[in-house]
Amino acid sequence: MDMTRIRDRMVEHHVTRRGIRDPSVIEAMRTVPREKFVPPGSEEFAYEDAPLSIGEGQTISQPFIVALMLEKANLDAGDTVLEVGTGSGYASALMSRVARHVYSIERHERLALEAKERFEKLGYRNIDVRVGDGSKGWAEAAPFDAIVVSASAPEVPTALKEQLGLGGRLIIPVGRGEGQRLKRLTRTGDAAFEEEDLGGVLFVPLIGEDAWTATHPMYTATAPSLPGTVASEPSSPHDGQGAGMRKIDKLPALPEGVLDHSEFQQRFWAVQRFSWIVFTLLLVICLLGLLGRGGPFSRQTLLLPEGSVDFPVISRWNAPEDMTVTFTPSSEDRVFTIDPAFLQSFSVQGIDPPQKATFARDGRIGYVFPADPAGPTQIVFRLQTQLPGPRRALIGMGGETRTQSTFIFP
Ligand code: SAM
């Protein structure tokens, strides 16, 4: 299934309208198929702006927060980037579309292997994946122009700062639970870093030697936090950021890395499915009401030089219908013709008032009616619908014919 349009809509609604402006990030989000990074069966939810479970108690990042982190990382086409916390590989894939090379490190072997397979299948050849503790960085590949950490650290790990090149940007959530802040550190000198606060976020913990231990309560929690536990972020920017960023800061904390969304997701999906079913039913009922018998658009009129024909646009199968033929005043007999296709759609049950004569000529059936010189003559054909589906036939008055289209509901 081609999800390009759904992806474009997601990018418009959840990325550009929320203040992301970097064209290369936007383009990457339009290109990378997020549905290939979610677990089988969750594809239809790939373009919700929500993190989704990917197993091992981890989540694929929410599109908006990834876009925000990438934009704040100021990625360039020639950049070498490190992602700590590969997860599904989605964020690394996005970065690989913008930067020259991406190194991505993940502590869960299964996630790392699956991400690697995805990159191979999608032909993303500029990403190296490694299983390990990302709080120590990836020294052999350093220095990096940008480092993006997709899990929250108690404080900025020293190794990551050291592996940042001069001018390099490190995007990292710092803090515990709902008190996490997204930070940007820019290396301005050997031991000098400029630090900015980008707002409140909620990520899974960074587990490692230079981070939290594996007994971190958020990591070891088994029950999912339902929406009520996703805090409203009382964030206020520390610096004079632009309007887009201020808007972002007013948003609630981003539920990026809550441990297990399964229960919440299932409830959310059930409500979503139910809403779609109700919406579709209402739509069908409205359409039938509008188009069905008696509705305002239920009939159409064909105009011909010798009169007009009024017949149903939409009918029910095996049900009575009628067609009204109105002849303009005339002192001569009038002829109404139909072709055999018409009789496949409708069988003629009766004609009121009856015809003077019936004839067959050139594969058409003709009905002759005496017309009235003083006024119009109205003839009602009482019909019964035949074959269901869209039907077309030729009807005529005198020498003129018109195509008549009808839909007969099964
Ligand atoms: N960016 C990912 C994506 O787009 O799918 C999602 C990242 S997920 C929110 C955080 C990831 O960080 C998890 O997969 C987790 O296992 C990983 N992680 C946590 N601590 C880590 C560490 N010390 N080193 C490497 N990965 C770590």
- Pocket of ligand 1 contains residue 84 by CB under 6 Å: yes
* 174-to-100, 160, 239, 263, 271 alpha-carbon distances in Å: 27, 13, 18, 27, 34
pLDDT greater than 80 at residue 219:
no
pLDDT greater than 80 at residue 288:
no
Pairing relation of β-strands 346-352 and 400-409?
A: unpaired
Chain-centre distance for alpha carbon 175: 33
Q: pLDDT at position 371, please?
A: 87
Q: Crossing angle of helices 90-98/23-31, nearest 10°?
A: 130
- In DSSP terms, 302 is beta-bridged to 309
Q: pLDDT at position 265, please?
A: 52
Reported as a pLDDT band with limits 50, 70 and 90, residue 157 is very high
Question: Of 186, 170, 104, which is closest to residue 141 (Cα–Cα)?
Answer: 104
Q: List the residue whose alpha carbon is closest to atom 14 of ligand 1.
A: 87
Burial class (CB in 10 A: 0-12, 13-18, 19+), 197: middle
Fold of 299-409: Immunoglobulin-like (2.60.40)
Collapsing DSSP states into helix, strand and coil, what is residue 19?
A: coil
0.85 surpassed by pTM = no
pLDDT greater than 70 at residue 162:
yes
Q: List the residue whose alpha carbon is closest to atom 18 of ligand 1.
A: 85
Average pLDDT, the chain: 84
Higher pLDDT, 228 or 71: 71
High-pLDDT (> 90) share of the chain, %: 55
Fold of 4-259: Rossmann fold (3.40.50)
- In DSSP terms, 205 is beta-bridged to 152
Reported as a pLDDT band with limits 50, 70 and 90, residue 140 is very high
- Active site (annotated) includes residue 330: no
State the average pLDDT over residues 188-206.
93
pLDDT greater than 80 at residue 35:
yes
- Cβ contact 383:340 at 8 Å: no
Reported as a pLDDT band with limits 50, 70 and 90, residue 267 is low
Lowest mean pLDDT among 137-141, 160-164, 322-326: 322-326
* Range among 249-263, 265-279, 384-398 with highest mean pLDDT value: 384-398
Are both 4-259 and 299-409 of the same fold?
no
Higher pLDDT, 234 or 190: 190
Domains of the chain by residue range: 4-259, 299-409
SS3 readout for 224-246: CCCHHHCCCCCCCCCCCCCHHHH
Unique residue bearing structure tokens 């067609």: 323
Q: pLDDT at position 194, please?
A: 98
- Pocket of ligand 1 contains residue 90 by CB under 6 Å: yes
* 35-to-52, 59, 60, 115 alpha-carbon distances in Å: 11, 14, 11, 13
What are the structure tokens assigned to 212, written together? 């939290």
Reported as a pLDDT band with limits 50, 70 and 90, residue 389 is confident
- Cβ contact 353:381 at 8 Å: no
Lowest mean pLDDT among 75-79, 191-195, 322-326, 343-347: 343-347
> Which residue type, as a one-letter code, is found at position 153?
A
Reported as a pLDDT band with limits 50, 70 and 90, residue 227 is very low
> How many A from CA of 233 to the centre of ligand 1?
22
- In DSSP terms, 336 is beta-bridged to 367, 397
Collapsing DSSP states into helix, strand and coil, what is residue 289?
A: helix
Q: List the residue whose alpha carbon is closest to atom 11 of ligand 1.
A: 85
pLDDT greater than 70 at residue 283:
yes
List Cβ neighbours of 275 (8 Å cut-off, separation of 6 or more): none
pLDDT greater than 90 at residue 297:
no
- CA dist., res. 161 & res. 168, Å (int): 9
Chain-centre distance for alpha carbon 70: 22
Higher pLDDT, 230 or 372: 372
Q: pLDDT at position 136, please?
A: 97
List Cβ neighbours of 369 (8 Å cut-off, separation of 6 or more): 327, 333, 334, 335, 336, 353, 355, 356, 377, 379
pLDDT greater than 60 at residue 26:
yes
- Pocket of ligand 1 contains residue 87 by CB under 6 Å: yes
Burial class (CB in 10 A: 0-12, 13-18, 19+), 35: middle
* Range among 40-49, 91-100, 298-307, 355-364 with highest mean pLDDT value: 91-100
Tell me which of 42, 53, 61, 331 is the catalytic residue.
61
For 156-211, give the DSSP string. --HHHHHTEEEEEEEEEEESSGGG-EEEEEEE-SSS-EEEEEEEEEE-PBPBSTTS
> How many A from CA of 86 to the centre of ligand 1?
5
Q: Which atom of ligand 1 is nearest to the CA of 88?
A: 5
- Pocket of ligand 1 contains residue 62 by CB under 6 Å: no
